[in-house]
Structure 1
Amino acid sequence: MAAEAPGSKSAKANVNLSTADLALDHYVAVTTEGESAGVVQLFAEDFNQKIQASNAQSNSRNEVVKSLKKQKGEKLNCTVSTDIIEESSDYMVAKVTLKFEDFTKTDLVTLERVGNDWKVTSSVNSYK
């Protein structure tokens, strides 16, 4: 049997999420660069996304994963910066800022250690 090529991007690929930094980097790749490998693995079972806007929205893990899978290969035309707001041995809060031409999206991302991996447990988005 042939092994999977090192660069292949299968949606069911196992992604290294052994540190908070690796998980955060993968979250950014999934949400801004259309990366599809490990999307399901990245989000905790109880993940929830909140969008703060004139009409606040909330999205479940399944809704977010489904949406991100549809964006496979699509790269957002924005500048990305990340700042770690708080970090401990099993918890991290990061601010991911996406600067587009006409607006800025701020994403407060919470990650937690679940077993040997790090998972994204929540995301709160706001726009300016």
Structure 2
Amino acid sequence: MKTNIKLFAVAVIALVATVYTANAEIKPYKELDSKEVVMNYVGASLLENANYTKEMFTEDFEYSNTSNKEKFGKKEYVKHLKSLKNLKYNATQSFEIMDQVGNTAVGKVIMNFDNFTRVDYITLSQTTEGWKISKVVTTYP
């Protein structure tokens, strides 16, 4: 009888845990600081790591490229990053958080390729879901 009760208790606990996990919202950036979010951006843009790309950006995200005057919203840019999934760029990268005041931070990512350098200036906002990227401006100095 004790074995049946223990078995039943384990089954109930497992069922509750499974239901809770299945219904839990995924908020991968909730506990990350601004520097870790920029590291994830580098991973998505250079190192074919496109996990949780959609959650990395605010809903009003804007990407702009100063060399060709292109601008994209969140949907187009996430699609672009996901298209890079099987590509691995041969570039060295460095990044820093240039300034952080209150709920806003500005980061800089430098990507050195063989023939050119790309610099992304990243604006981050702290939301209820953690730090998110609200704007990326790409330059080629």
Shorter-chain TM-score: which interval?
A: 0.7 to 0.9
d(CA) in 2 for partners of 1:38, 1:14: 9
1:56 aligned onto 2:69: yes
1:121 aligned onto 2:134: yes
> Tell me, which stretches of 5 or more residues in structure 2 are unaligned?
1-13, 15-25
Counterpart of 1:66? 79
For the residue of structure 2 that corresponds to 1:84, the secondary structure is strand
Counterpart of 2:47? 33
d(CA) in 1 for partners of 2:132, 2:49: 16
User: Normalising to structure 1: TM-score of the pair?
Assistant: 0.83
Deviation at 1:83, TM superposition (A): 2.1
For the residue of structure 1 that corresponds to 2:44, the secondary structure is helix
d(CA) in 1 for partners of 2:125, 2:37: 10
User: Do the aligned residues in 1 keep the contact of 2:29 with 2:132 (CA within 8 Å)?
Assistant: no
| Runs of 4+ displaced beyond 2 Å | 13-18
**Pair member with larger Rg:** 2
Counterpart of 1:87? 100
Name the structure with the higher helix share.
2
Number of residue pairs the alignment of both structures matches: 116
User: Normalising to structure 2: TM-score of the pair?
Assistant: 0.76
For the residue of structure 2 that corresponds to 1:40, the secondary structure is helix
> Tell me, which stretches of 5 or more residues in structure 1 are unaligned?
2-12
Q: Percent identity?
A: 27
Q: Superposition RMSD on alpha carbons, in Å?
A: 1.7
Counterpart of 1:47? 61
Deviation at 1:93, TM superposition (A): 0.2
User: Do the aligned residues in 1 keep the contact of 2:107 with 2:122 (CA within 8 Å)?
Assistant: yes
User: Do the aligned residues in 2 keep the contact of 1:35 with 1:73 (CA within 8 Å)?
Assistant: no
